[in-house]
């Protein structure tokens, strides 16, 4: 027998906290590390929530698309910023 979410005796986060983590990420203003520090969990825990690996039972219908879109946007922003920094150093 397995338990999802906060029903799992090993759970550190509540359903409400996981919902808040996703909302904070979707603002585009918080990194995995920032959110992890705020909730006292490891960065990989936040990554797994955002990547729909953990706590997927709390996903709302449009959330996977919204989370994927934000990951893609942030990835391209990081790429662009790193490219600019390399160019500035040359």
Q: How many CA atoms lie within 13 A of 4 on its CB side?
A: 10
Q: What's the confidence (pLDDT) of residue 81?
A: 65
pLDDT digits (tens, 9 = 90+) for 55-77: 878 878 788 888 888 888 888 87
Least confident of 3-7, 38-42, 83-87: 83-87
pLDDT at residue 54 tops 90? no
The pTM (predicted TM-score) of the whole model is 0.72
Spell out the residues 6+ positions from residue 21 whose beta carbon is closer than 8 angstroms to its own: 13, 35, 39, 46, 49, 50
pLDDT band of residue 40 (cuts 50, 70, 90) is very high
């Amino acid at each position: 027998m397995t338990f999802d979410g906060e029903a799992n005796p090993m759970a550190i986060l509540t359903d409400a906290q996981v919902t808040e983590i996703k909302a904070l990420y979707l603002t585009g203003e918080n990194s995995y590390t920032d959110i992890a520090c705020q909730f006292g969990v490891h960065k990989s825990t936040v990554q797994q929530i955002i990547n729909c690996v953990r706590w997927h039972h709390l996903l709302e219908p449009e959330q996977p698309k919204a989370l994927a879109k934000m990951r893609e946007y942030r990835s391209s922003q990081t790429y662009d910023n790193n490219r600019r920094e390399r160019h500035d150093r040359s």
